[in-house]
Amino acid sequence: MANVVVIGSQWGDEGKGKIVDWLSQRADVVVRFQGGHNAGHTLVIDGVTYKLSLLPAGVVRPGKLAVIGNGVVLDPWALLDEIDVLRSQGVEVSPANLRVAENVPLILPIHRNLDKARELALGNARIGTTGRGIGPAYEDKVARRAIRLGDLASADIVSAKIDALLLHHNALLRGLGMSEVDAAPLFDALMAVAPRVLPFSDIVWKTLDGVRRAGKRILFEGAQGTMLDIDHGTYPYVTSSNTVAGAAAAGAGLGPGALGYVLGITKAYTTRVGSGPFPTELTDAAGRTLGERGKEFGTVTGRARRCGWFDAVLVRHAVRVNGITGLALTKLDVLDGFETLRVCVSYRLDGEEIDHLPASSLLQARLEPQYEVMAGWSESTRGARSWADLPATAVKYIRRIEELIGAPVHLLSTSPEREDTIMVRDPFVS
């Protein structure tokens, strides 16, 4: 039996929510270990759509423990709003099935305001953040001035930390020509929200250690994708956390030995949201078709996603830096009806062929994708639940992807519905 880490192998939006929900029926605990409410997971269960940002996907399943780890940055007001929405849909959320790390840093209104002000100031050079304060909150965490969930139990600690925080933030706001923040309203807001969020506070590392020692199964749920990792992604057009599998240990409070199987969620084509390089991006009819069929709009922002052909170079990169054991290939059905398909097998940079993504954003912008052309299929793959239901050319497409990226497809998703999933290997069985 192995614990499972689920990560995105592209730029996020690979369909992790459905896969995590599908896997959670085999898990006892589901853990979010990084990111914030800039993440967006959409689950479709028995025709009902659930949209999650902060809460682990396992929270919609009765009898499962959902955990938000210390590697996350938490907006307490967004958390409570999300809980209220789920409750209105008949999902029970309480401290009995949701625990939040006491040492998780909080996202405050000043973080959201600063995030938006910076993006506005950057103009055409903006990163494309969601404006939800994720980056500034991580900055305060690293700079050792964050207010953490457990701090809310003491008014004196909160007051002292606000003073230290505003010493820095008000200087930034003055530099941006914005009004300074008064400590009193922020203090009052935190004291008002404290009684509602503190019941969820927990010594998460200790709880998870007990779960592991009891032999229960843990599912680690990543947000965003490998190419948005602060170190390994298309920097600076990335998120502010480590999105790779190794972050699951630090972001949950467990040693790396607790991690087992790494499942890379991989879309059968490629998308990204926001600014930054995208070698296989399509701006023609094929790209529009992928976006329309795949309903490629952000769960959190509603922004249209940029679409392109499958990039085997990027996914091969993700396989290596994450130590991916196997892939969950999603949205294969979106490719139904294409007469031909293209797969990027290498890049050409200034006349030279290369087999990796360079770290420099200047070099990334000059990459020319080198394609292999494959036959498409006219039959529908939507809802297929066995390999025998797939057209031969679709199977050939999948096998070629496996060869190019150096990892096998262990799960195949053929629609947003939970049960439309083909399993080759159960990730929880080591």
Looking at the annotation, which residues are catalytic? 13, 41
Structure tokens at 139: 């900055």
Using the 8-state DSSP alphabet, how is residue 303 labeled?
Answer: P
Residues in the chain: 430
DSSP code for 181? P
428 near 220, Cβ under 8 Å? no
d(CA 310, CA 316): 11
Distance CA 323, CA 12 (A): 18
Rounded Cα distance, 267 and 409, in Å: 12
Specify the residue for token string 């949201």: 273
Q: Measured between alpha carbons, how far is 34 from 71 in angstroms, rounded to an integer? A: 5
Select from 260, 268, 246 the least CA-distant residue to 320.
246
Reduced DSSP (H G I as helix, E B as strand, rest coil) percent helix, strand, coil of the chain, to 5? 40, 20, 40
Parallel, antiparallel or unpaired: strands 409-413 and 421-423: antiparallel
